Amino acid sequence: MDFWTILFAIVAVVSLGFFLRYRVGILKFVGEVKVELDKCSWPWDPNQAGFKKYKELIESTVVVVISVILLAGFVTSSDWILAHVVGYLTGTEMLKLK
Protein backbone atom coordinates (compact mmCIF):
# COMPACT_ATOMS: atom_id res chain seq x y z
CA MET A 1 0.00 0.00 0.00
CA ASP A 2 1.27 3.41 -0.86
CA PHE A 3 1.05 6.60 1.17
CA TRP A 4 -2.04 8.02 -0.59
CA THR A 5 -4.08 4.85 -0.11
CA ILE A 6 -3.29 4.81 3.60
CA LEU A 7 -4.02 8.53 3.91
CA PHE A 8 -7.34 8.10 2.10
CA ALA A 9 -8.29 5.22 4.38
CA ILE A 10 -7.44 7.26 7.49
CA VAL A 11 -9.45 10.25 6.24
CA ALA A 12 -12.39 7.95 5.41
CA VAL A 13 -12.35 6.35 8.87
CA VAL A 14 -12.07 9.72 10.62
CA SER A 15 -14.90 11.14 8.47
CA LEU A 16 -17.11 8.14 9.22
CA GLY A 17 -16.36 8.47 12.93
CA PHE A 18 -17.13 12.20 12.80
CA PHE A 19 -20.42 11.52 11.03
CA LEU A 20 -21.41 8.78 13.48
CA ARG A 21 -20.51 10.97 16.46
CA TYR A 22 -22.44 14.03 15.23
CA ARG A 23 -25.05 12.35 12.99
CA VAL A 24 -28.06 13.79 14.82
CA GLY A 25 -26.81 17.37 14.42
CA ILE A 26 -25.70 16.80 10.83
CA LEU A 27 -29.02 15.24 9.79
CA LYS A 28 -30.94 18.01 11.58
CA PHE A 29 -28.88 20.64 9.75
CA VAL A 30 -29.43 18.95 6.37
CA GLY A 31 -33.18 18.77 7.06
CA GLU A 32 -33.30 22.46 7.97
CA VAL A 33 -31.38 23.35 4.80
CA LYS A 34 -33.88 21.38 2.72
CA VAL A 35 -36.82 23.21 4.37
CA GLU A 36 -35.19 26.60 3.70
CA LEU A 37 -34.40 25.71 0.08
CA ASP A 38 -38.04 24.74 -0.45
CA LYS A 39 -38.99 28.30 0.60
CA CYS A 40 -36.72 29.85 -2.05
CA SER A 41 -37.99 31.38 -5.25
CA TRP A 42 -36.02 29.76 -8.06
CA PRO A 43 -35.48 31.73 -11.29
CA TRP A 44 -37.26 29.28 -13.58
CA ASP A 45 -40.82 28.26 -14.19
CA PRO A 46 -41.34 24.52 -13.56
CA ASN A 47 -44.46 24.54 -15.76
CA GLN A 48 -42.51 25.53 -18.89
CA ALA A 49 -40.34 23.32 -21.08
CA GLY A 50 -37.15 23.95 -23.03
CA PHE A 51 -35.44 27.34 -23.02
CA LYS A 52 -38.67 29.10 -22.02
CA LYS A 53 -38.30 27.43 -18.63
CA TYR A 54 -35.12 29.44 -17.96
CA LYS A 55 -36.31 32.78 -19.40
CA GLU A 56 -35.96 34.72 -16.11
CA LEU A 57 -32.58 33.12 -15.40
CA ILE A 58 -31.23 34.02 -18.85
CA GLU A 59 -32.56 37.59 -18.63
CA SER A 60 -31.01 38.07 -15.19
CA THR A 61 -27.70 36.68 -16.40
CA VAL A 62 -27.65 39.08 -19.36
CA VAL A 63 -28.38 42.03 -17.04
CA VAL A 64 -25.53 40.99 -14.72
CA VAL A 65 -23.03 40.55 -17.58
CA ILE A 66 -23.91 43.94 -19.09
CA SER A 67 -23.70 45.61 -15.66
CA VAL A 68 -20.27 44.09 -15.01
CA ILE A 69 -18.98 45.26 -18.41
CA LEU A 70 -20.29 48.80 -17.83
CA LEU A 71 -18.85 48.93 -14.32
CA ALA A 72 -15.48 47.66 -15.54
CA GLY A 73 -15.45 50.34 -18.25
CA PHE A 74 -16.33 53.05 -15.74
CA VAL A 75 -13.68 51.96 -13.24
CA THR A 76 -11.01 51.65 -15.95
CA SER A 77 -11.85 55.07 -17.43
CA SER A 78 -11.94 56.73 -14.01
CA ASP A 79 -8.59 55.19 -13.07
CA TRP A 80 -6.99 56.29 -16.33
CA ILE A 81 -8.33 59.85 -16.05
CA LEU A 82 -7.42 60.24 -12.36
CA ALA A 83 -3.94 58.78 -12.92
CA HIS A 84 -3.27 61.35 -15.65
CA VAL A 85 -4.77 64.27 -13.70
CA VAL A 86 -2.72 63.44 -10.61
CA GLY A 87 0.35 62.90 -12.76
CA TYR A 88 -0.13 66.28 -14.40
CA LEU A 89 -0.68 68.02 -11.04
CA THR A 90 2.38 66.43 -9.43
CA GLY A 91 4.61 66.66 -12.47
CA THR A 92 5.02 62.92 -12.80
CA GLU A 93 2.99 62.42 -15.96
CA MET A 94 2.59 58.81 -16.99
CA LEU A 95 2.13 59.61 -20.65
CA LYS A 96 3.51 62.68 -22.40
CA LEU A 97 1.03 63.88 -24.99
CA LYS A 98 2.64 65.75 -27.94
Give 11-56 pLDDT, tens digit per residue.
999 999 999 999 999 999 999 999 999 898 877 777 777 777 788 8
| 49-80 confidence digits (pLDDT tens) | 777 778 888 899 999 999 999 999 999 999 99
- Using CA atoms, how far apart are residues 16 and 22, in angstroms rounded to an integer? 10
DSSP letters for 7-72: HHHHHHHHHHHHHHHSHHHHHHHHHHHHHHHHHS--SS-TT--GGGGGHHHHHHHHHHHHHHHHHH
Instruction: Say if CB 43 and CB 55 are below 8 A apart.
Output: no
